[in-house]
Amino acid sequence: MTYLLDVAEFELKAFLGVSIVLVGYRVLTGGVNTKGLLAHKETGAFSPARLQLLLFSLIAAGAYLSSLMEAAAAGRYAFPEVPQELLLALGGSQALYLGAKGGLERMFRARSGLNKKFDPDAL
């Protein structure tokens, strides 16, 4: 039985490793379209809010994957609880992103004159 668990663990680690390498290769060679990933949708300018959201999401996913691997190494084959701190960090990151997005939207609309009320009679 231990042999089967060792084989399953090796297969899981190999699958994750190969997946990470393949996705990384595709991103670096242009096979995955990342154009605009860190740019504001309206202005096309670099968005620090998007960068922090991406980084926090990747760090949180890595932290949870690490706790999952630790649990499996300890013989607990169930999904571990998500730490409260991780949920708070992800929630704060999302709130910061949405707040920045809302602020940029208002600023963009104010500069472009799009803050006018919609008038259906003007059509």
Tens-digit pLDDT profile for residues 85-106:
999 999 999 998 888 877 766 6
Predicted confidence (pLDDT) at residue 123 exceeds the cutoff of 70: no
Look at the chain and report how many structural domains it folds into: 2
Q: Which domain holds residue 41?
A: 35-112
- Per DSSP, 119 falls in state -
Looking at residue 21, what is its pLDDT?
A: 95
Whether 47 maps to a domain, the answer reads yes
Long-range contacts of 44-48, Cβ-Cβ distance < 8 Å, separation of 24 or more: 47/100, 47/104, 48/100
Whether 118 maps to a domain, the answer reads no
| Mean pLDDT (whole number) for 20-47 | 86
Rounded to two decimals, the pTM is 0.66
- Per DSSP, 84 falls in state H
Of 21, 41, 40, 39, the closest CA to residue 31 belongs to 21
Whether 123 maps to a domain, the answer reads no
Q: Are 18 and 24 in contact (CB under 8 A)?
A: no
Looking at residue 56, what is its pLDDT?
A: 92
Predicted confidence (pLDDT) at residue 24 exceeds the cutoff of 70: yes
